[in-house]
């Protein structure tokens, strides 16, 4: 029996922040005939971390076989899950939880960090919400703990997609 459940795009137009959890499969509308897909990896201090699959489809309908064959398109990103899924604050943005991967456990993600704080007292936080002091090298190496919104993610996906010529 499969541990991935997928439901219809129209089932849950909005998901409250407290109900978003690791393993949730999401879909985001890029434009009228292009949808991207991803999975919530973890919840941390600044939002939720997410991986984005190398899947772009003309409809928000996806099946388990797509997900099992999919690779990831870019490094794990910190997203503003409150604005994207719960309050839907950005105009022209449509992100929806469309499924769930039961018993999801992130693998090969032990060295993913974000940094935050002021110079001289910066910290780094991993995707499991573990915090340590950040070195100067860490500050240069890891992205800021700055949750990304719809516009930011679409810019990143667009540049990666165009570079790889996936569409």
| DSSP secondary structure string for all residues of 86-148 | IS--STT--EEEEEEETT----S-TT-EEEES-TTS-EEEETT--EEEPPHHHHHHSPBS--B
pLDDT of residue 160: 76
If you average pLDDT over residues 88-106, what whole number do you get?
92
Is 51 part of any domain?
yes
Across residues 47-68, what is the average pLDDT? Answer: 93
Residue-number span of the structural domain to which 30 is assigned = 4-106+146-164
In a domain, 84, yes or no: yes
Q: Coil, helix or strand for 64?
A: helix
SS3 3: coil
Is residue 52 in some structural domain? yes
Q: Is residue 43 part of a domain?
A: yes
Is residue 138 included in any domain, yes or no?
Answer: no
Predicted confidence at residue 91, as pLDDT, reads 79
Confidence band for 165, pLDDT divided at 50, 70 and 90:
very low
* CB-CB contact of 25 with 55 (8 Å): no
pTM: 0.92
Domain count, the chain: 1
Residue 82 lies in a domain: yes
For residue 155, being part of any structural domain is answered with yes
Q: Would 113 be classed as within a structural domain?
A: no
Where does the pLDDT of residue 161 fall: very low under 50, low under 70, confident under 90, or very high at 90 and above?
low
Q: Which residues of 51-83 are buried (b: 16+ CB within 10 A; e: fewer)?
A: bbbbbeeeebebeeeebeebeebeebbbbbbbb
Strands 77-79 and 34-44: what pairing?
unpaired
């Amino acid at each position: 029996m499969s541990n991935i459940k997928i439901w219809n795009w129209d089932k849950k137009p909005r998901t409250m922040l407290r109900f978003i959890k690791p393993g949730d499969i999401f879909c985001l509308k890029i434009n009228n005939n292009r949808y991207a897909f991803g999975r919530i990896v973890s919840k941390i201090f600044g939002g939720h971390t997410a991986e984005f699959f190398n899947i772009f489809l003309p409809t928000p309908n996806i099946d388990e076989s797509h997900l099992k064959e999919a690779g990831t398109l870019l490094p794990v990103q910190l997203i503003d899950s409150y604005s994207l899924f719960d309050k839907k604050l950005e105009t022209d943005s449509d992100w929806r939880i469309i499924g769930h991967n039961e018993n999801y456990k992130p693998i090969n993600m032990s060295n993913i960090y974000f940094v935050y704080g002021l110079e001289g007292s910066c910290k780094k936080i991993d995707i499991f919400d573990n915090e340590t002091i950040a070195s100067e090298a860490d500050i240069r190496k890891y992205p800021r703990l700055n949750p990304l919104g719809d516009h930011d993610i679409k810019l990143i996906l667009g540049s990666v997609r165009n570079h790889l010529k996936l569409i």
